[in-house]
Structure 1
Amino acid sequence: MAALEKIQAKTFWPIHIEHWQASGLSQVAYCRQHDLCPQKLGYWKRKSTVKPTTSPTGFTRIRVDGDRSSAPVPGLSLQFNDGIRLEGITQDTMPCIQPLLELLR
């Protein structure tokens, strides 16, 4: 598989996995409806749930100061390479973030 095809697959399949899960259909029925290969959907589903064997890198500790303005702040969002997105991270939700990151590892 060429590099460009791998990049496209890494964005294509997570979207279909998310849509399949929301559809309530079986994998085979969803794939028939969208003209997809059920084995490939299964492969990418398994690939997206595999836990890394090495410790993740690239994270840094952050400190959130108190709100310095009166305007509402939408919060921080994190999106991981596998498509998982954490949104609305604020000072109030920071205590939940570390346990959530541990669970996602």
Structure 2
Amino acid sequence: MEKQPEQTSKKLSREAWSAHYEAWSMSGESQSSYCKRHDLKYATFCYWRTQLKCHSAQAKSNFETLDVKSTPQVLPGIRIHLPNGIQLSMPLSPDLSTLRSVLELLGVVSC
């Protein structure tokens, strides 16, 4: 941002101070050095820096909180329909010993 002697720091708009604040933060200069180079009052710059930081924090906090309700997840599984009408449902990767025991209890003969 170029030095504009016709504008004193008292007459700058919020937008102009915002532009100065952004230019300073990207410049890597100290605040006092930036103010001297742009003919700005250091105390006024500090005031606007605080105002702009607070405004920025308020703008970020204007989001509303959404309640997201989770729906039960349907996992893929195995469903076995036996000739006697019994149906067996279990996870896709069951414990084999448990599956074997259940099938034996149901009277299913293994091959």
TM-score of the aligned structures, taking structure 1 as reference length = 0.41
Q: Which has the higher helix share?
A: 1
Larger gyration radius, structure 1 or structure 2: 2
Q: TM-score, normalised by structure 2?
A: 0.39
Between the two structures, name the one with larger relative contact order (CA 8 Å, sep ≥ 6). Answer: 1
